[in-house]
Amino acid sequence: MSNVIVHSLFSEFDINLFKGGKHFRLYDKLGSHLIEVDGVKGTYFAVWAPSAKSVSVIGDFNYWNAGEHELNVRWDSSGIWEGFIPGVDKGTKYKYKIQSHNNDIWTEKADPFARFCEQPPNTASLVWDAPYDWKDKKWMDTREEKNALDKPYSVYEVHLGSWKKKNGWESLSYIEMADELVDYVDKMGFTHVEFMPVMEYPYDPSWGYQITGYFAPTSRFGKPEDFKVLVDKFHQKGIGVILDWVPSHFPEDAHGLGYFDGSHLYEHPDRRRGYHPDWKSLIFNYGRNEVRAFLISNAIFWLDQYHVDGLRVDAVASMLYLDYSREDGEWEPNMYGNNENLEALSFLREMNQEVYASFKGVQTIAEESTAFSGVTKPVHFGGLGFGMKWMMGWMHDTLEFFKKEPIYRSYDLNDITFSMTYAFTENFVLPFSHDEVVYGKQSLLYRMPGDEWQRFANLRLLFGYMFTHPGGNLLFMGGEFGQSSEWDFQQSLDWHLTQYDFHSGIQEVIKDLNKLYKNNPALYQKQFSPDGFQWIEYNDKENTVITYLRKGEDPKDDLIIACNFTPVPRENYRVGVPKNTQLKLVFNSDDSKYSGSGIGKKTLKPSKTEWNGQAQSVVMTLPPLSVVVYK
């Protein structure tokens, strides 16, 4: 086989953009690309390694011998090494063997821009392209409307490796999930699915959050084009796809990004800013132009090449603060003397600006657990520019409230009502995510108090309250049928439980709540606006009941919601209503079809009795541990 032929995919303009941190389609240039040069087929390789003395491509085509296929360094001080190797075909395994100027250190690295990787524990990159004939034109043409902030956002969060197993131990493939998972999410009525990280990762217990192959769908479940089939099938059912994305940190694995060319290339060189003590991982250097271009190119890549509809950005809080999980003396203030990571803030703003400018109808969602202001405000108004943010405070307060025995809940009703004091400061998604059902926290079902009947009634009430509270919703897999055990990434969900009435009843509740959400504009048109919510009564501690209105553009769409947080039925419970028109029951979490008691009135006629500041009122029967919704 001949040696490396001088060739480049870079123009001078590309290099200037790259060095300036403004090249956001780097995946078209860096990495391995199957091309033809002067009638000869082969692969072009390009890698950024500015501290290298030499860079060779090693692989199964040259018996992993360094020096046989040495790349050429560019003359423009970009730090890019490149060249064309004839005869290297699709599927070829390879790595970069890098000799550093730093004391002649040698590293052997996977390609940061590889489109496909060996299945772990193997670590080589694979030369790959993934041509695919997309069939989701209808979704893509209408996505801007369907994926907008004034449309329903009900998300099913999935860990692909453990959603369902075959033969008792083997995960489903992307192709198998394109049938089973897509049909299930469609049947349950969710509007979106969110995948925990699909980018290649070496260590299963990390759940995918320690990434080594940022541009490669994990090979655990099939080929890159198979993952495109999965996304495509969701789109054909009108379901949006969100990916967890991790620009906050990366692992120190020998073949990964760490100490890539014998220098601190991708990670910040100062350990106080470049090492994460919680996750024992490295932190990107957000102030380095080429690193910013790498990360923003990666965000763009999934939206561009895989038609993804949203990115949920992991661990944003850890990026925003220099003292995150650090004691005094373990961090250094910024130029203004405070704890904000100015370079990370700048990066997040630029990433969001580029994403929203480049794609219609996509959303970025921040997992941000602090009170940092303006996460979902536009960048030109001084915000970070995200579309939505997880409402972690609501999740914590709600679960703390629900775990209490009902007899004590009246003293802590503020835990439930407090969220409305800040509900519209950001565009919030209400999450019951994977983090809430691991590490001894128990499943959602077993965090509920009482006997079996009360546990399930509490869970139905919890979900009813969640879906009628302003904001989008996210539920981790298993919660939708009342999984009884904690989530274990090594095992399938306990699907056998759905044969039992209580568990299948939870499934039916989620189906009907998704229908309620999607079919009632009052629950989504103004879900991020204070105009869409009004308290009727928030301080009835004697009965431990709250009542509120959800409002849409048209007053005839308004809904009246009552939540009874005790196992005592409330007969003749009077509620003030804004109009003197008959009300119809549209949801009752205590319905007998959910294995509830079936208590509740189908219709209510107002009387001219003033109540709750309204000129008229109705008398309800509130079932035990229930939410009822009237229209």
Active site positions, annotated = 314, 367
pLDDT tens digits, residue range 466-509? 999 999 999 999 999 999 999 999 999 999 999 999 999 999 99
Share of the chain above pLDDT 70, in %: 100
Token readout for 545 is: 């009941």
Q: How far apart are CA 398 and CA 527, in angstroms?
A: 19
For the segment 426-444, the average pLDDT, to the nearest whole number, is 96
Kindly report, residue by residue over 241-295, the tens digit of the pLDDT.
999 999 999 999 999 999 999 999 999 999 999 999 999 999 999 999 999 999 9
pLDDT level of residue 2 (50, 70, 90 thresholds): low
Q: Determine the longest span between alpha carbons in the chain, in angstroms.
A: 93
pLDDT band at 549 (very low <50, low <70, confident <90, very high): very high
Please list, residue by residue across 572-593, b when 16 or more beta carbons sit within 10 angstroms of its beta carbon and e when fewer do.
ebebbbbeeeebebbbbbbbee
pLDDT value at 550 more than 60: yes
Find out whether 485 and 595 touch, Cβ atoms under 8 Å: no
What kind and span of H or E run contains 164? Answer: none
CB-CB contact of 44 with 82 (8 Å): yes
Integer Cα distance of 521 and 356 in angstroms? 25
pLDDT at position 1 = 41
Calpha distance 242→511 (Å, rounded):
20
Peptide bond into 121 cis (omega under 30): yes
pTM of the model: 0.96
